Amino acid sequence: MRPMLWNLGWLVLAIAWLGPLPEMASHSFAAHMTLHMAVVAVAAPMLSIAAAGRRWDPVLRFPNLFAPVPASVGELLIVWAWHAPGLHHWARHDAFGFVVEQSMFLAAGVWVWLSAFGGSQPRDRGRSAAGVIGLLLTSMHMTLLGALLVMSPRLLYSHHHGGTGLTPIMDQHLGGAVMLVVGGLAFLTGGLWLTRDLVDPIRMPIGAAKSSPLGKANTR
């Protein structure tokens, strides 16, 4: 399962970065947002879950650096900064800017997902709980930014001229909807998935279930 996720994650990145989306993103905000979500909400969780608990998992060496809540805050700052009109314009019309933007998106996505799912396996309940909070915070800020883009009455990115058959403002609204739905749901799903570790004693680390009320009830 993990090798398949690892390979699929890199395949998604190859399709996203080597396909038509980068060129389309230079004039379509919706295409940019599709590219962004492919990186942080599809490829990043696949790569992170595949690497979690392996010997190359950086969470095992640097657990404090990969604390879920600070990682979520760091990802928020990166995503919101790159959607400021100035940086966004640079990334759309400069090859180096595009590489920096996409590299930071991937790093931020892996940072959040790996901080939640990485570390010793089975996961410690404390890290799972923090992971739930981190992923839900990320889902909330993705939803908020997407909603702001959808509801904005004015064009925020004047360098975009929309996709085929779309006005620039319609294109911006569509891009916001992509972030709201795909980004919000992806991180929400990750948070709910981790919640199983907190409510299912069978999935807890050895000893944790025995010390919890649920574990004691199941041993009677």
Pick 126 or 105 by higher pLDDT: 105
Q: Are 68 and 75 in contact (CB under 8 A)?
A: no
Average pLDDT, the chain: 88
Quote the number of domains for the chain: 1
Phi, psi of 94 (to 5 degrees): -140, 125
Task: Using the Cα atoms of residue 9, residue 14, residue 16 and residue 22 in order, give the sign of their dihedral.
Answer: positive
The domain containing residue 43 runs over which residues? 2-218
**62-71, 84-93, 105-114, 161-170: range with lowest mean pLDDT:** 161-170
Q: How far apart are CA 154 and CA 203, in angstroms?
A: 49
Phi-psi category of residue 98: left, alpha or beta, with phi > 0 → left and psi -120 to 50 → alpha:
alpha
Contact 194, 117 (CB under 8 A): yes
| Average pLDDT over every residue of 22-50 | 96
| pLDDT value at residue 159 | 75
Query: In which element (H, E) is residue 91 found?
Result: helix 85-93
Q: What is the CA radius of gyration of the chain?
A: 19
